[in-house]
Amino acid sequence: MTKDRRNEKRIPAALHGELTEYSSLLRALRTERTLDVSSQISKHFQSIPTVVENDAHDSEDEDEESHPTSPVAGPSSQSPSQIATLKRKSDDISTSSPTPPPKRKKKQKQADIWTKWPLLPEDLPQLQWGLEDEISVIVSQLQKVHQQGNEEDDDEDREFLPHLHLSTSNCLEAILGTVAAHTPLRPDSLQNRLNPIDWRFVLNMLVGQKIVHPKVIERAETRLRAMYDPNGTLPCRLMSTGPFRLLLTIG
């Protein structure tokens, strides 16, 4: 035992400290992953297959099993010797070990998983920063750019923030309400199912409803096209027809 201990190499202090920090990091990541409820819920739903039984196919299977398809000869068409042979075979089968009947497999199909809309308030995540906080940060950034060191009027400029919060909230509610009311065309069988909409649909809708100033929509269209359409091209049907033509000719 003493020889084995002597042969063991000691870990340098620097390496030991690095390994200790690494193990602490792993424990912290494991704890953070355990506390992440959203990932656990998503994995739970992925592991549970949603299956809906098809009753119509089940009833058809039952009918097929109850009525065999192979023809059976009637008593009048069989000779006495054949009847005796069949009876002897049936007795042998009955005396042998009984075999369990084959289990009927139910036909199953995968069901679609749809998100309930509108979402319930308890299903929405609690945001760390509210709309008023976001507006205040934007205003402070713009003041730094335009004032360039004139901090005397900061207190006076802060007086209009509540009014700016209210007007922005009303405008945002009008936009979201209009988006919810104007849904894309879809078949009658899919009235309760909505496909995702893109930013072009939203801008077309805002131009038609005249909720936002055209100059604001023009700036938003320029920024969104740079982010989502790197080539700077749009579908011809959107450029040539509809309110989007008015949007592109503003200026």
The count of C-alpha atoms lying within 13 angstroms of the C-alpha of 140, restricted to the half-sphere facing its C-beta, is 7
Angle at which helices 199-209 and 161-181 cross, to 10°: 110
Q: Mean pLDDT over all residues of the chain? A: 69
Percent of the chain with pLDDT over 70: 51
Over residues 46-69, mean pLDDT: 50
151: helix, strand or coil? coil
Q: Which of 115, 130, 106, 132 is nearest to 54 (CA)?
A: 106
Average pLDDT estimate for 109-127? 68
State the Cα–Cα distance between residues 56 and 54, nearest whole angstrom: 6
For the ranges 48-52, 204-208, 246-250, which has the lowest average pLDDT?
Answer: 246-250
Q: Which helix (H) or strand (E) holds 238?
A: helix 236-240
d(CA 197, CA 175): 14
DSSP 70: S
Specify the long-range contacts of residues 120-129, CB closer than 8 Å, at least 24 apart.
none
Q: Which residues of 186-201 are buried (b: 16+ CB within 10 A; e: fewer)?
A: eeeeeeeeeeeeeebb
φ, ψ of residue 52 to 5 degrees: the values are -120, 130
Residues 6+ apart with CB under 8 A from 153: 147
Write out pLDDT tens, residues 133-192: 888 888 888 888 877 656 556 666 677 888 889 999 998 899 888 888 887 777 777 777
pTM over 0.75: no
pLDDT of res. 145: 80
Instruction: Classify 95 as helix, strand or coil.
Output: helix
The DSSP bridge partners found for residue 109 are 52
Comparing 58 with 16, the larger pLDDT belongs to: 16
pLDDT at residue 215, as a whole number? 92
Mean of pLDDT values over 200-209:
87
- What are the residue boundaries of the structural domains of the chain, listed by start? 131-183, 196-251
Reading the block at residue 10, the tokens are: 């000691």
The answer to whether residues 204 and 182 touch, using CB atoms and an 8 Å cutoff, is no
User: How many other CB atoms are found less than 10 A from the CB of residue 168?
Assistant: 15
